[in-house]
Amino acid sequence: MKIFKLFIYLFILFILINIIKSKLWKLKEYYKIRNKRHCGGI
């Protein structure tokens, strides 16, 4: 039972990490677009 609980915990943690990563990636893309508009560069 302990191993099963650990597995569920790791699975939830994995999902949370993926959500955070995708949000950070979207923020990065958003800032890239904003910087392009302002600077006309990279």
Flag whether 5 is in a domain.
no
* Domains: count for the chain: 1
Q: 19 is in which domain, residue-wise?
A: 12-36
Q: Do the beta carbons of residue 8 and residue 1 sit within 8 Å?
A: no
Flag whether 32 is in a domain.
yes
* Residue with token string 């999902």: 15
1-42: per-residue pLDDT in tens?
A: 799 999 999 999 999 999 999 999 999 988 888 877 766 555
3-class secondary structure, 30? helix
Flag whether 21 is in a domain.
yes
pLDDT of amino acid 16: 98
Contacts of 41 (CB under 8 A, 6+ apart): 35
Flag whether 27 is in a domain.
yes
